[in-house]
Amino acid sequence: MVQVLIADPIAASAQKRIEDAGFEVVVRNKDADGPISEQIKGFDCVIVRSATKITKEVLEAADTLKLIVRAGVGLDNIDLEAAEEVGVKVMNTPEAPTVSVAEMVFALMFALARNVTQADSSMKDEKWNKKLLKGTELWQKKLGIMGFGRIGKEIARRGTCLGMDVLIVKKDRPGREAECAEVGARQVSPDQLIEESDYLTVNVPLVPETEGMIGLEELKRMKETAYLINTARGGVVDEDALLKALEQDMIAGAALDVYVDEPPKNWELVKHPKLIATPHLASSTSEAQVRVGELTAEKVINEFK
């Protein structure tokens, strides 16, 4: 019988589907079960989200492991090279939270444009700061999208519907023009994207090539009236540089849903008045969690049929 370890929670319906397929399922209790490197022995498959790290040490400790399924998008919590070395297949479910993340980008964008968090906070303090909290429209603003995968395309579609001028980085590859035409985006150089965007949203995976891709130099080149939104991975934006940019009014503000350390170890950036901070909520919708679970179950079952 196939042994499946669910290391991070997935939808109950997905767990039941795996069990109904005849697999034996164990749900990990990280407080009671000790290090996963000690628990992993005997399992054919492990399901993780973002919390559990599948390191080289964990993979070396596994004796029967054949499949890792990341219930979600990113794979930065899995040592992919080590998995390949020991012949363990790695899969994820990038299609599941696409709409939820795209909508979160606009939730943060609207909150920045209309000072929603400051307005709510001031009202709860019994202050009527109407004149101080005048906002701006998204209509006809330039929306720069870094990363033109599933999520980037969904953001572009929504930006176009709002009457925004949607910009993506120019790439010379087959089908690119058709993709742009479908979602109403236009291609510009990387420099133009950074320098012209009124709202710059980051939607790339965290890999060596993207780590720190938004640093002090990039922030200096943005408009003073521009906003940065990151719902991708914390390491893509240099947090120290962003704090400096906000303190020196290089940009108008920023919104972060992801951080280098989660939860953050240093809360200075999070508490900055020009930053909207949320605790990695972009994919946390009821609909996305069901889709993530169902796709995870499907991949596990199909792999061991």
Fold for 98-277, please state it: Rossmann fold (3.40.50)
Q: pLDDT confidence of 76, banded at 50, 70, 90?
A: confident
Amino acid at 144: G
> What pTM value is reported for the model?
0.86
Give the containing element (helix H, strand E) for 146.
Answer: strand 142-146
- 222-268 pLDDT, tens digit per residue, is 999 999 999 999 999 999 999 999 999 999 999 999 999 999 999 99
CATH number of 3-94+286-303: 3.40.50.720
83 pLDDT above the threshold of 80: yes
Q: Coil, strand or helix: which one is 190? A: helix
Q: pLDDT confidence of 72, banded at 50, 70, 90?
A: confident
CB 281 within 8 A of CB 105: no
Residues 6+ apart with CB under 8 A from 58: 36, 37, 40
Instruction: Catalogue the long-range contacts made by 83-89 (C-beta closer than 8 Å, 24 or more residues apart).
Output: 83/54, 83/59, 85/59, 86/59, 86/60, 86/62, 88/59, 88/62, 89/303
The partner residues of 167 in beta bridges, in order of sequence, read 144, 186
Q: List every span in the chain annotated with CATH 3.40.50.720.
A: 3-94+286-303, 98-277
- Range among 24-33, 152-161, 284-293 rated most confident: 152-161
Which residues are known catalytic residues?
Answer: 233, 262, 280
